[in-house]
Amino acid sequence: MASKGDKEKIREEIERLRREIEYHNYRYYVLDSPVISDAEYDRLFRRLQELEQAHPEFFDPNSPTQRVGAPPAEKFETVRHSVPMLSLSNAMSEQEFREFDERVRKGLGITGPVTYVAEPKLDGLGVELVYEHGELVVASTRGDGIFGENVTANVRTIRSIPLKLRRERGAPPIPARLEVRGEVIMPKSAFQKLNEQRAKAGEPLFANPRNAAAGSLRQLDPRVTASRPLDMFCYAPGDTTHLPFETHWDFLEGLKAWGFKTNPLNRRCKGAEAVIAYHAEMEKRRAQLDYDVDGVVAKVDRFDDQRRLGEVSRSPRWAIAFKFKAQQAVTRVIDIIPSVGRTGIITPVAQLEPVQVGGVTVSSASLHNMDEIERKDVRIGDYVIVERAGDVIPYIAGVVTERRTGKERKFRMPAKCPACGSPVVREEGEVFYRCVGLSCPAKLRESIRHFASKHALDIHGLGEKLVSQLVEKGLVHNVADLYRLEREQLAQLERMGEKSADNLLGQIEASKNTTLARLIYGLGIPHVGEHLAKVLAEHFGSIERLEKATEEELLAVPEVGPETAREIRAFFSVPDNRTVIRRLLQAGVKPRLERRPRAGRLAGKTFVITGTLSRPRDEVARDIEAAGGRVASSVSKNTDYVVVGVEPGSKLDRARELGIPTIDEEELERMLKG
Ligand code: IVH
């Protein structure tokens, strides 16, 4: 049996440990500046747990060990707030805020500036904490403002909430009963992590941090709450009658001294203009904060002034929520329209009933691709939530499924391009649908630029601006039209004198003398890059034979996979594409077949290049080909050598895996020279 003296010693040690651990919780969770290591903390914590287990007579629900969560409850008890938890009226503009300030000054009978405390308006859930003799006794949700739910067991698990108030020297005296109100929130970063975990576990996701905070706090099992990263900022008293303060600002300072977390962004402001400036500043900083803020709360600083102003219809006359521009709005999807982009990719765009979001009118939003539409299940006729944060482009965040009537229609990607009627193909493994039309007006600019680019027909002087003018003036409807341009037409264009017109015509003329590979590459068939164009040129020998090649024949070409074969077939099956090619040839484009010297010193050898070499890769590739070798883009068992430059990529790993010889640039040069 332990003697009375021993028991007393143990009680003292338990109390000392509790105080010490709470102090470290305070340093860590409230001040964000810990003074001991995690290991030291764990040691203290375990020691306390042992002592408490061995001496259950010293149980205390406010011991830091109880923050892991009590056993589940059947239901929440109801708590009556001793002073109703009011709501705030809103000011939606500077004008409305100035009107509020007018009313305050009139009510107080003063003409000079009123001192306010301005605070971020946190988007979480209102909670009241009641302390008796410095110890947490009850915590409740706001509920309907009069009655709330008793969530004490859950609130105990929130580490930044003091279970016992700090009694520091110089701190204001703690009233026998203290009521403190504030907002329980979940940090945005924690919310994201939580949702990621839930997605992995196949659990439903929370719509936003506020719902996540509410769902976590209103848990019958406090151990679940304990596992959720909640935080609380305190900002208001309940009953003010026994408070040792004259102003709200001093009250906030008192809260800090007692160990509560208050918002470091709170600011005392003299006069309405100072509040307006604070509001503007917070709206700018909003995106950087790790918690959601939907406005600023301005409160008359002096408690006696607050009492004189009183309240109307359950909102105080002395405080107001000065809201930020809404970043979310609900509106209807009138239609979903496929829109063809510069590269032929077809993007479904939602046409919306115009709505104000973040200060701008939004009437359409990209849905990006079919996967996105399916994931969000957006249908024509749906009500949707439109979001726009800061400078971000407006997007559809989700569907309000509760408002479905059954008349909504699903969007289907058209089989034909809405701009030119050519087939629309979806590439396997890709989320995009693409128009394959060579003359599609929607992608014309890009196809012409590609056709004229260095490794295609190489028409110098046909820059972006000029291409735009040619297309806009209707002088060029497809790449074949380039060969019909006349001097007079060109000379009319902006910044184009007769001399540069002649120059350009000379360039166009010169481009007729080209190679089959360049022509194939220049057509811009999806998946057909420079290398594959060479392979195809060599295999088929003429554009006509490539055009007629069946999928089977295409598949017989090494390096052509089913996806590429399908793309090539889709391209040549468009009659207009074939017409354009005919016209190119008629205009005098003469693709010559450049056979690789079969007898070169590198004949029959396939090379793959990885990493940076001392010369541009295509130059090196040309030398290899000139010597009869082949350059492939990926390493396979058919590769003979992998040329390794600086910072090689995964191709080197693959070469090692397959046991393919690797050489450096010097060795390659030696092989080239022989
Ligand atoms: S003071 C009588 N300060 O906004 C004033 N409320 O519509 C009582 N809120 O239910 C509230 N941040 O949950 C106050 N800095 C802040 C606030 C804040 C968010 C919430 C609170 C309240 C609602 C009022």
Q: Can you tell me which atom of ligand 1 is nearest the CA of 126? A: 13
Q: Is residue 76 part of a domain?
A: no
pLDDT score of 598 more than 70: no
Q: For residue range 402-411, what is the model confidence (pLDDT) as tens digits?
A: 899 999 999 9
Q: Are residues 456 and 364 in the same domain?
A: no
Output the DSSP codes for 463-514.
-HHHHHHHHHTTS-SSGGGGGG--HHHHHTSTT--HHHHHHHHHHHHHHTEE
Task: Please report where in the chains the tokens 């396997």 appear, as a residue.
Answer: 428
Contacts of 224 (CB under 8 A, 6+ apart): 69, 216
Token code pair at residue 249: 């600002």
Q: For residue range 435-469, what is the model confidence (pLDDT) as tens digits?
A: 988 888 888 988 999 999 999 999 988 988 899 89
pLDDT of residue 49: 95
Of 263, 289, 323, the domain-final residue: 323
Q: Is residue 506 part of a domain?
A: yes
Number of other residues whose CB lies within 10 A of the CB of residue 171:
15
**Bridge partners, 148 (sequence order):** 79
Q: Are residues 52 and 177 in the same domain?
A: no
pLDDT of residue 103: 97
Of 74-83, 143-152, 492-501, give the lowest mean pLDDT range: 492-501
Q: For residue range 635-657, what is the model confidence (pLDDT) as tens digits?
A: 888 899 999 999 898 899 999 99
pLDDT of residue 426: 87
Q: In angstroms, rounded to a whole number, what is the distance separating the alpha carbons of residues 137 and 139?
A: 7
Q: Are residues 318 and 360 in the same domain?
A: no
CA end-to-end distance (rounded Å), the chain: 97
Q: Are residues 454 and 565 in the same domain?
A: yes
Token code pair at residue 509: 């003329």
Q: Is residue 382 part of a domain?
A: yes
Alpha-carbon torsion, ordered 310, 314, 317, 319, to 10 deg: 120
Q: In angstroms, rounded to a whole number, what is the distance separating the alpha carbons of residues 42 and 365?
A: 51
Q: Are residues 122 and 196 in the same domain?
A: yes
Token code pair at residue 290: 């790790």
* pLDDT band at residue 527 using 50, 70 and 90 as cut-offs: confident
Packing angle, helices 575-586 and 562-572, rounded to 10: 70
- Please say whether the beta carbons of 111 and 172 come within 8 A: no
Helix (H) or strand (E) holding 663: strand 662-663
Nearest CA to ligand 1 atom 16: 121
Number of other residues whose CB lies within 10 A of the CB of residue 100:
21
Q: Are residues 264 and 384 in the same domain?
A: no
CATH number at residue 628: 3.40.50.10190
Of 533, 566, 592, the domain-final residue: 592
Q: Which of 62-66, 182-186, 390-394, 620-624 has the highest mean pLDDT?
A: 182-186
Q: Provide mean pLDDT across the span 115-122.
A: 98
For residues 267 and 74, the model is more confident at 267
Q: Provide mean pLDDT across the span 262-283.
A: 97
Q: Provide mean pLDDT across the span 79-100.
A: 95
Q: Provide mean pLDDT across the span 107-135.
A: 96
Q: How far is the CA of 245 from the centre of ligand 1 (A)?
A: 20
pLDDT of residue 596: 65
- Please say whether the beta carbons of 329 and 386 come within 8 A: yes
Q: Is 126 in the pocket of ligand 1 (CB under 6 A)?
A: yes
Q: Is 587 in the pocket of ligand 1 (CB under 6 A)?
A: no
Q: Are residues 156 and 305 in the same domain?
A: yes
Q: Is 251 in the pocket of ligand 1 (CB under 6 A)?
A: no
Q: Are residues 312 and 348 in the same domain?
A: no
pLDDT score of 389 more than 80: no
pLDDT score of 2 more than 70: no
pLDDT score of 430 more than 80: no
If one residue of 85, 89, 119, 121 were mutated to test the ligand 1 pocket, choosing by the most ligand atoms within 8 A of its CB, it would be 121
Q: Is residue 64 part of a domain?
A: yes
Q: Provide mean pLDDT across the span 586-594.
A: 92
Q: Which of 106, 121, 193, 454 is catalytic?
A: 121
Q: Provide mean pLDDT across the span 124-147.
A: 96
Q: Are residues 266 and 381 in the same domain?
A: no
Percent of the chain with pLDDT over 90: 72
What are the Cα distances from residue 598, in Å, to 19, 96, 131, 564, 592?
86, 83, 92, 27, 17
Q: Can you tell me which atom of ligand 1 is nearest the CA of 123? A: 19
Q: Is 410 considered catalytic here?
A: no
Q: Is 651 in the pocket of ligand 1 (CB under 6 A)?
A: no
Q: How far is the CA of 88 from the centre of ligand 1 (A)?
A: 7
Q: Are residues 318 and 332 in the same domain?
A: no
User: For the chain, what is the total number of helices (H) and then of strands (E)?
Assistant: 24, 26
pLDDT score of 597 more than 70: no
Parallel, antiparallel or unpaired: strands 433-435 and 630-632: unpaired
- Please say whether the beta carbons of 78 and 62 come within 8 A: no
Q: Is residue 497 part of a domain?
A: yes
CATH number at residue 25: 1.10.287.610
Q: How far is the CA of 111 from the centre of ligand 1 (A)?
A: 27
Q: For residue range 186-241, what is the model confidence (pLDDT) as tens digits?
A: 999 999 999 999 888 888 888 789 999 999 999 999 999 999 999 999 999 999 88
pLDDT score of 633 more than 90: no
Report how many domains make up the chain. Answer: 5
> How does the average pLDDT of the chain come out, rounded?
92
Q: Is 87 in the pocket of ligand 1 (CB under 6 A)?
A: yes
- Please say whether the beta carbons of 83 and 177 come within 8 A: no
CATH number at residue 490: 1.10.150.20
Stated pTM of the model: 0.61
CATH number at residue 181: 3.30.470.30
pLDDT score of 587 more than 70: yes
Alpha-carbon torsion, ordered 223, 228, 233, 239, to 10 deg: -30
Nearest CA to ligand 1 atom 1: 236
Output the DSSP codes for 538-584.
HHH-SHHHHHH--HHHHHTSTT--HHHHHHHHHHHTSHHHHHHHHHH
Token code pair at residue 230: 């909640």
pLDDT score of 4 more than 80: no
Q: Is residue 237 part of a domain?
A: yes
Q: Are residues 102 and 124 in the same domain?
A: yes
SS3 content of the chain, % helix, strand, coil (to 5): 40, 20, 40
Of the candidates 440, 394, 454, 477, the one whose C-alpha atom is nearest the C-alpha of residue 571 is 440
Percent of the chain with pLDDT over 70: 99
Q: Are residues 244 and 310 in the same domain?
A: yes
* pLDDT band at residue 73 using 50, 70 and 90 as cut-offs: confident
If one residue of 116, 117, 122, 312 were mutated to test the ligand 1 pocket, choosing by the most ligand atoms within 8 A of its CB, it would be 122
Q: Is residue 75 part of a domain?
A: no
* pLDDT band at residue 601 using 50, 70 and 90 as cut-offs: confident
Name residue 413's amino acid: M
Residue 249 sits in which domain range?
Answer: 90-323
Q: Is residue 411 part of a domain?
A: no
Of 592, 622, 644, the domain-final residue: 592
For residues 594 and 607, the model is more confident at 607
Contacts of 95 (CB under 8 A, 6+ apart): none
Q: Provide mean pLDDT across the span 274-281.
A: 97
* pLDDT band at residue 93 using 50, 70 and 90 as cut-offs: very high
Q: For residue range 475-486, what is the model confidence (pLDDT) as tens digits?
A: 999 999 999 999
Q: Is 382 in the pocket of ligand 1 (CB under 6 A)?
A: no
Of the candidates 107, 103, 106, 108, the one whose C-alpha atom is nearest the C-alpha of residue 91 is 103
Q: How far is the CA of 121 from the centre of ligand 1 (A)?
A: 7
